[in-house]
């Protein structure tokens, strides 16, 4: 099974992603992905998540 780390900012823009999260996860799950969704609030947080992912490769 392929893995997908889906990082999103739920308050960015008009916050429309919040209403679509389930559909997005469902789509990728049906395509054979194991989806991990991580909401983030700041670009600093995103950098830390990606740095951790690159160093540990847990996803």
CATH number for position 28 = 3.40.50.10330
pLDDT tens, residue by residue, 4-59: 988 888 888 787 888 899 999 999 999 999 999 988 877 677 777 777 777 666 55
For residue 10, what are the domain limits? 2-56
Q: What pLDDT is recorded for position 1?
A: 82
Q: What pLDDT is recorded for position 32?
A: 96
The number of domains in the chain is 1
Q: What pLDDT is recorded for position 17?
A: 83
Q: What pLDDT is recorded for position 24?
A: 94
Nearest Cα to Cα of residue 9 among 38, 29, 34 = 38
Nearest Cα to Cα of residue 38 among 4, 1, 15, 2 = 4
b/e map 31-51, b = 16+ CB within 10 Å = eebebeeeebeeeeeeeeeee
């Amino acid at each position: 099974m392929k893995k997908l780390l889906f990082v999103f900012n739920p308050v960015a823009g008009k916050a429309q992603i919040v209403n679509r999260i389930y559909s997005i996860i469902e789509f990728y799950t049906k395509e054979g992905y194991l989806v991990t969704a991580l909401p983030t609030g700041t670009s600093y947080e995103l950098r830390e998540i990606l740095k951790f992912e690159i160093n540990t490769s847990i996803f």
